Structure 1
Amino acid sequence: MALEWVVLGYTAGAEAIMVLLLTLPGLNPLRKGLVSVAQSLLKPLSSIVPFCLFLMMDIYYKYETRPTCESPEACSPAEHLRFHKSIIKSERNALLIASALFFYWILYSVTNLLVRIDDLNNRIEKIKNQD
C-alpha cells in the first residue's frame, strides 16, 4: 500500500507545481507552452479521481476494522501506541487525498481559464484586424 501513497503524493506535487507555474506572473513567454503541457496532462491525471475514491474506501475499511483501545486498561502501552499511530496515519492519508483532488480541480480550472483568455484575445485581434 505504501507505493500507492507515494504515487499519490508525487501526483499531488506535480499538480501543485503546474498550478504554481501557470499562475506565477512574469512567465508570459512560457505560458503558451505551459498551458499546452497542462492540457495534455489533464486527461491522464483525471484517473486520480477514481484512484482517490478507492483509497478513501481503503481508509474507511481500515477505520471500521481496526482494533479499539477505548480504555487504558484494555490495551497494553504498545497496542495503545499502535492504535494512535494508525489514526494519525489515516488522517495524513485523507489529507493527501484531499490535496490531490483539490490541486487537480485547481489545475483544471486554471488551464481552462487560460485557454478561454487566449481564445478571447485571438478574437479581439481578429476583430481589430478586420476594422
Structure 2
Amino acid sequence: MGLQWMVLTCVVAVETAIVVLLTLPWPRQLKSSIVALVSMIIQPAVSILPFAGFHLLDIHWKNEHRQMCSAEVCTPEELFHYEKSVFKAQRNVILCVLSCLLYWCICCVCKYQQEVRGLEEAEKRLKNQ
C-alpha cells in the first residue's frame, strides 16, 4: 500500500509543477506549446481521479472500522501507534483531495488559455479585414 501512496505523492508533485508551468508568464509561442502538450496529457491523466477516489473510500472504510484507543484503555505505545495511523490517514486524504483539485486546476487553466488564444486569433482576423 505504501507504493500507491508514493505514486500519488509523485502525481501531486508533477501536477503542481504543471500548474506552475502553465501559470508562469512565458512568451506566446512557448506558452501555446506548453498548453498544447499539457492538453494532450490531460485525457490519459484522468485516471488519477478514480485512483484517488478509490483510496478515499478505502480510508473512509478503514476509519469506520478502526478500533478506538483512549488513554484509559491503551498503553502509551498503543496510543502512539493509533495516533500515528490517524495522522497518516489525514495526510493521505489531503493527498487524494489535492490530486483531484490540481487536476481540475490544470483542466481549467488549459481551457482558459485555449479560449484566450482563440480570441486573439479572432481579433487578428477582424483587424486584417
Q: TM-score, normalised by structure 2?
A: 0.94
Runs ≥4 in structure 1, deviation > 6 angstroms? none
How many residues get paired?
A: 129
C-alpha spacing 1:88/1:113, structure 2 compared with 1 (3 Å): same
Alignment of 1:99 onto 2:117: no
Deviations 1:51-109 (A, max 9, x none): 11100011011111222113x23111111111000100000001111111111111000
Deviation at 1:21, TM superposition (A): 0.8
Tell me how large the CA RMSD over aligned residues is.
1.2
| Alignment match, 1:119 | 118
Q: What letter is aligned with 1:110?
A: V
Deviations 1:32-51 (A, max 9, x none): 11001110111111111111
Name structure 2 gaps, 5 residues minimum.
none
| Alignment match, 2:7 | 7
Q: Secondary structure at the match of 1:74?
A: coil
| Alignment match, 1:30 | 30
| Alignment match, 1:16 | 16
CA distance in structure 1 between the partners assigned to 2:110 and 2:35 by the alignment: 6
CA distance in structure 1 between the partners assigned to 2:37 and 2:18 by the alignment: 9
Q: Secondary structure at the match of 2:72?
A: coil
Name structure 1 gaps, 5 residues minimum.
none
Q: What letter is aligned with 2:98?
A: S
CA distance in structure 1 between the partners assigned to 2:93 and 2:72 by the alignment: 30
| Alignment match, 2:82 | 83
